[in-house]
Structure 1
Amino acid sequence: MMGLARKMAILGGMVLVLLIILTCLSIIGRLLNGVLHGSLMQGLAPALSDWLINYIGPINGDFELVEAGVAFAIFAFIPLCQITSGHASVDVVANAFPVKVNRFLRMVVAILFAGVLALITERLGAGMVGKYYNGETSFLLEFPTWWAYAASLFASSMAAVVAIYVAIVRTTEFMTGRIELWDGVEGEQ
């Protein structure tokens, strides 16, 4: 499961890097297009400016791609965060509890998180089917919106699988008293 979680995080990171590059190129294109439309460039080299304006500008539909890609990336990072207990937590009160109570709380949280991720995955699947059958497309690029749902569904499915695994491990840890997934939260026995 750790291998799956790492692979999903790497895939999410690659998508995020591509989205960052896309956003930067779009911003640079928008900036250069504004400069080319400006009075300075129009005064110095109007023919060159007019010619470049046809090729330099923002990337059409960049925000649609970012919207779809970020949704995928978020779900792709969840498995690694879940399996390493990387989620934000407030331990001010929990540190005062005995080890057995903390294990119980971790088990309950893991089970609830797995349930929520399974529900989100099911709803994404239903949303994807709905988008597929109604033929909805994005506004500018006109790509089928079910593609973005499918990518997010894949990532959320992997997140749900890892979350269910973590819930099973946390339940086993609570029942047996043995630590199966070390994450630095628990101290010496």
Structure 2
Amino acid sequence: MSDDPAPPRGPVPWLASVLALAGGATLLATALLTTYSVVQRWITRQPVPGDFELVSLGAGLSVMGFLAYGTVMRSNILVDSFSGWLPRRVNEVVDGFWMLVWAAVAAVLAERLFVGARETLRSGTTTMVLGLPTWWAIGLGALAFAATALAALYWVLRFMRGRG
């Protein structure tokens, strides 16, 4: 029997899982587009028009899609050099504090990205080659950071209840 706790359950972990799956699908599509563009360049000397724009949008969105899942699964890098000897409950308080800080940072980033999405929609900002509007990608980034803030708050509540 393993000492690892069961994976978290509930609506926040479910949302994080959905976002991670969407991020994975986006990353796969980005890799396939890159492969196709390189092959096309070898064969015809012409890449897929705007491939770098699509790859940059896809890569950014895929990374943001993984943030909430990484937070829910607590798969971030932990350094316990100074706290490993402390009692479990003290470590949970320390971890809860840093999760609260992460929730605040993610919430601020979500709000700023939301403002950015609204501004790019208002100004009509588009990509250079394909002329794609960019507001939707920034808006999806805002949603991903909002979900990450929720995931961090999920852990703060668990730590407060002593179920870390």
Larger radius of gyration: 1
Displacement of 1:160 = 2.1
- What is the deviation of 1:144? 1.0
Q: CA-to-partner distance for each residue in 1:20-51, whole Å, 9 max, x for gaps? A: 101111111122234xxxxxxxxxxxxxxxxx
Q: Percent identity?
A: 28
The match for 2:90 is 101
1:74-128 alpha-carbon deviations (Å, 9 max, x no partner): 1211111111110011122221222232111101111001000000000000111
Correspondence 1:74 to 2:90: no
Secondary structure at 2:161's aligned position in 1? helix
| Residue segments in structure 1 that go unaligned for 5+ positions in a row | 35-56, 174-178, 182-189
Instruction: Give the match for residue 52 of structure 1.
Output: none
Asked whether the equivalents of residues 8 and 155 of structure 1 are also in contact (C-alpha less than 8 Å), the reply is: yes
Match of 2:24 in 1: 13
- Which aligned pairs between 1:18-167 and structure 2 lie closer than 5 A? 18-34=29-45, 57-167=46-156
Looking at structure 1, the residues matched to 61 and 133 of structure 2 have their Cα atoms a distance apart, in angstroms, of 16
SS of corresponding position for 1:94 = coil
Aligned length: 153
Give, as a single letter, the amino acid of the residue that structure 2 aligns with 1:10.
L
- Within 2, Cα distance between the matches of 1:4 and 1:143? 27
2-structure distance, mates of 1:150, 1:164: 21
Question: Which runs of 5 or more residues in structure 2 are unaligned?
Answer: 1-11
Moved more, 58-67 or 119-128: 58-67
1:143 Cα deviation from its structure 2 partner: 0.7
Partner of 2:4: none
TM-score w.r.t. the length of structure 1 is: 0.75
- TM-score using structure 2 length: 0.86
Mapped to 2, the partners of 1:69 and 1:154 lie a distance apart of: 15
Partner of 2:7: none
Give the ranges of 4+ consecutive aligned residues of structure 1 lying more than 3 Å apart after TM superposition: none
Contact between 1:12 and 1:73, CA under 8 Å: does it hold in 2? yes
